Amino acid sequence: MKLFGYRVPMMASLIVWCAIWELVGRSGALFLIPPLSDVLVAAVALVQTGTWQAAAITTLNSFLVGMALAILVGVAIGVLMGRSVAADNLLGIWVNIFVSAPLSALVPVLMILFGMGETTVVVTVFLFAVWIIVLDTRAGIQGVPPSLIEMGRSYGASRFALYFRIILLSALPEILAGIRLGVIRGVKGVVIGQLLVSILGYGELFELYSRNFDMENFWALTIILFAAAMLLSGLIESLEKRVDYYAGVR
């Protein structure tokens, strides 16, 4: 987008939307949209409270544990499916079903299996994130050029070296892409899990503020959450760009 000959960065239009938000809020037309400036003030105050900090730590903790499990298990299953036809055939359908199934329906089941606690949220994050990581890893492994593997063999690479120095590195762009998508899904998972369990971390605060019609704090929570989600996916995207140079030339 060019304006008066200058390139305007795309995300700059968000400023326009923020201004519109502020105006709508100031006009008081919709009680559920307070002015953005009030929300930001609330956000600054909010992050200093012990309640928010405790909730954020609980949330982050569930998210990180769930994601770590999802990445470990997801990459392992993806490699297995990429290298073994039998595993691919046996697991393929289920991975494809769960990657697009409404997993929110499974959360009530998790609640009775794992209790109304953090474990349920961790498992929710894991279930939301793991399938896309499996699928992308599998695609990356299957995309490793056979000549690269034959090259490794012909120079006498051990099985270990073959996997860790050639196959996994060659599939890294796809694996990272899978992890980025997994992170986005994981964030949604942690929110959905906590909302349904509703006595934990962020979910509890969301319940609290929306029930008390405390719109400033509600939106402050949302903005912090959205910003964290964008930051996280941006972080992995920049990591992806660093290996992007060889994604096209393998």
Partner 1 sequence: MSLPLHVKGSPRALPSTEASFLWRKLSEHRTALWRTASIGLFFLVWEIAGRVPISFAFPTFLETLRAFLTMLFNGAFVAAYAQTLQPLVIGIAISAVVGVGVGIVMGLSRFAEWLVAPVFIVLQAAPMAALIPLITFVYGIGLMAKTLAVIMLALPVIALNGYKAVRNANPSLVAMCVSFQGTRWQRITKIIIPDASPVIFAGLRLGLAAGFIGVILAELLITPTGIGDLITYHRSVADYPEMYAAVVSIILVSTLTLAALEAFELRVLRPEKRRT
Alpha helices in 107-171 (DSSP H): 107-114, 118-142, 146-154, 159-161, 168-170
Distance CA 144, CA 138 (A): 10
Q: Which is nearer to partner 1, 177 or 187 (CB)?
A: 187
Kindly tell me which of 4 and 160 has the beta carbon lying closer to partner 1.
Answer: 4
Reported as half-sphere exposure (CB side, CA atoms, 13 A), residue 230 has a value of 7
Residue 106 binding partner 1, by CB under 8 A: yes
Q: How far is the CB of 108 from partner 1 (least distance, A)?
A: 5
**Residue 18 in the binding site for partner 1 (CB under 8 A):** no
Q: Does 214 bind partner 1 (CB under 8 A)?
A: no
* Nearest residue (CB) to partner 1, 12 versus 68: 12
Counting contacts by CB under 8 A, is residue 162 touching partner 1? no
139 contributes a contact to partner 1 by CB under 8 A? no
Q: Which helix (H) or strand (E) holds 182?
A: helix 172-197
Q: Residues 92, 142, 169, 214: which binds partner 1 (CB under 8 A)?
A: 92
Structure tokens at 43: 């956000």
Could you tell me the CA-to-CA distances from 219 to 16, 37, 168 in Å, in that order? Answer: 18, 11, 42
Alpha helices in 1-84 (DSSP H): 13-27, 36-47, 50-83
- The amino acid at residue 207 is E
| Residue 155 beta carbon to partner 1: minimum distance, rounded to whole angstroms | 35
Q: Which residues bind partner 1 (CB under 8 A)?
A: 1-2, 8, 10-14, 16-17, 32, 89-94, 97, 100-109, 112-113, 184, 187-188, 190-192, 195-196, 202, 206-207, 210, 213, 218, 221-222, 225-226, 229-230, 233
